[in-house]
Structure 1
Amino acid sequence: MTDGDETADEEGGAQTVEERNKENLARLLEETHRENFDVVDELATEDVTTHGFFGMDATDRESYRRFYEDFAAAFGDQEFEVEDLIAEGDKVVVHFTITATHRGEVLGIEPTNERLSWSGVAIDRFEDGRVAEAWLSPDYLAILSQLGLLPDEVEA
């Protein structure tokens, strides 16, 4: 199947590969941020790899699922909003905003129980409708600033 090829959607209509990948990523993000981690088994390849995932990069489906579990443990009461989804070829770019409570250790930072909000961008590469590789770029300055970990002269 080449970029732009059509597949059948649930209603039997035509759906491009890009549309299917966008739909699958939106579902993966929605479900994992609701702590339904079983969706990873369905929507990630066996050898999925990640880059920039809060120091918790994945090298396979099990570690990818563990990232979402550990992230949920570190940041509870999540409100995850997809701001934009853009697909081209085998890649989907998502711009997101997340608000969550810092309730577990992450990046060596002990929990503060502070309510944090930040945005970010992720690029996900798909194979046969499943995430095969992902690059995450959250606004680390916003996170560190809200945790009071930046010098006064540095603003996020």
Structure 2
Amino acid sequence: MIQVQQNIETAKRFINEGIAKVDMQVFDEALDPNITVSTGLSPTAPIQGLENYKQIFSAFADSWPVKQFVMDEIFGVNDKVVVRFTATTVFKKDYYGVKATNQIVRLKEVHILTFRDGKVIENIVSGTNFPFEYIMYPV
């Protein structure tokens, strides 16, 4: 039970500071160097490795900065922590060739984080992000 609570605390920090505030030091501290990330930010294959994840996520966050962030729910069981959040973003910079529109878009996501030895080794991301998907449809 102590390990589950530690994993939850690490997940909270990763989501609230790493994801919401784009703090790459938190990525370094919370994530395993060999992490695998399944996300729409890499639609052709999972992201392999911490450095690739940081690069891909930073590019996304630069184009879609967060204006408001709410962690809606978090819980853990065994080696898994599930986090559900809502991020309100603004499409500020061109992304994957799509011209920025300054549209405000609410992203609702669920991250399933798998831990080993206190670090996240896998992140499976799912979302209900229809406005984002509509904007990015040409890609």
TM-score bracket, shorter-length normalisation: 0.7 to 0.9
CA contact (8 A) 1:54 1:107 kept: no
Task: Determine the structure 1 residue equivalent to 2:33.
Answer: 46
Task: Determine the structure 1 residue equivalent to 2:4.
Answer: 18
Instruction: Say which of 69, 73, 78 aligns to 1:80.
Output: 69
1:128 aligns to 2:117 (yes or no)? yes
Task: Determine the structure 2 residue equivalent to 1:13.
Answer: none
How far 1:55 moved relative to its partner? Answer: 2.0
CA, structure 1 residues 26+117, in 2 after alignment: closer, same or farther (shift >3 Å)? same
CA, structure 1 residues 135+106, in 2 after alignment: closer, same or farther (shift >3 Å)? farther
Secondary structure in structure 2 of the residue aligned to 1:137 = strand
Structure 2 Cα separation of the partners of residues 51 and 105 of structure 1: 23
Aligned residues: 134
- Higher percent of residues as helix: 2
Unpaired segments ≥5 residues, structure 1: 5-15, 150-156
The normalised TM-score by structure 2 is: 0.85
Name the larger-Rg structure: 1
Worse-superposed segment, 102-111 or 112-121: 102-111
1:28 aligns to 2:14 (yes or no)? yes
Deviations 1:33-91 (A, max 9, x none): 21321111111101001002422742111112223311211211432211000100101
Structure 1 Cα separation of the partners of residues 121 and 136 of structure 2: 35
How far 1:107 moved relative to its partner? Answer: 5.4
Unpaired segments ≥5 residues, structure 2: none
Tell me which of the two structures has the higher relative contact order, counting C-alpha pairs closer than 8 angstroms and 6 or more residues apart.
Answer: 2
Structure 1 Cα separation of the partners of residues 68 and 118 of structure 2: 25
1:59 aligns to 2:51 (yes or no)? no
How big is the alpha-carbon RMSD for the aligned residues of Structure 1 and Structure 2? 2.0
Structure 2 Cα separation of the partners of residues 148 and 137 of structure 1: 16
